[in-house]
Structure 1
Amino acid sequence: MTAIPQVRFDERGKQLPFTEQEVDTLIPLVTEHYAPRRFALCQVVRDDEGHAFDVSIVAWGIESDDSASVVGYSDAYGQRMRGTFQSAEDAVSLLAAGGDLRLAWVDAAD
Structure 2
Amino acid sequence: MNVTADDFPAVPFNEDGERLPFSEPEIDRLVPLMTEHYAPRRFALCQIDRDDEGRPFDVCVIAWGLQVGQDDDSVVVFGYPDGSDRAMHGTFQSADNALRILRGRDDVRLAWADPETA
Q: TM-score, normalised by structure 1?
A: 0.88
Deviation of the 1:6 alpha carbon: 2.7
Q: How does 1:18-33 map to 2 (within 5 A)?
A: 18-33=22-37
Aligned to 1:52: 56
Q: Which structure dedicates a bigger proportion of its chain to strand?
A: 1
CA RMSD of aligned residues (A): 1.8
Aligned to 2:43: 39
For 1:99, which of 93, 96, 106 is the aligned residue? 106
Identify the range of structure 1 (66-75 vs 40-49) with the bigger mean alpha-carbon deviation.
66-75
Aligned-partner Cα distance in 1 for 2:67–2:14 = 38
**Higher Cα Rg: structure 1 or 2?**
1
Aligned-partner Cα distance in 2 for 1:98–1:36 = 28
Q: Provide Cα deviations, 1:43-76, integer angstroms capped at 9, x if missing partner.
A: 0000111000000001111012311110003854
Letter in 2 for 1:107: D
Structure 2 stretches lacking a partner, 5+ long: 1-6
Aligned-partner Cα distance in 2 for 1:95–1:4 = 38
Alignment of 1:84 with 2:91, yes or no, is yes
Aligned-partner Cα distance in 2 for 1:95–1:10 = 52
Deviation of the 1:29 alpha carbon: 1.1
Q: TM-score, normalised by structure 2?
A: 0.82
Letter in 2 for 1:103: L
Q: Stretches of 4+ moved more than 3 A in 1?
A: 73-76
Deviation of the 1:7 alpha carbon: 1.7
Aligned-partner Cα distance in 2 for 1:40–1:93 = 13
Deviation of the 1:10 alpha carbon: 1.2
User: Any idea what SS the aligned residue of 2:80 has?
Assistant: strand
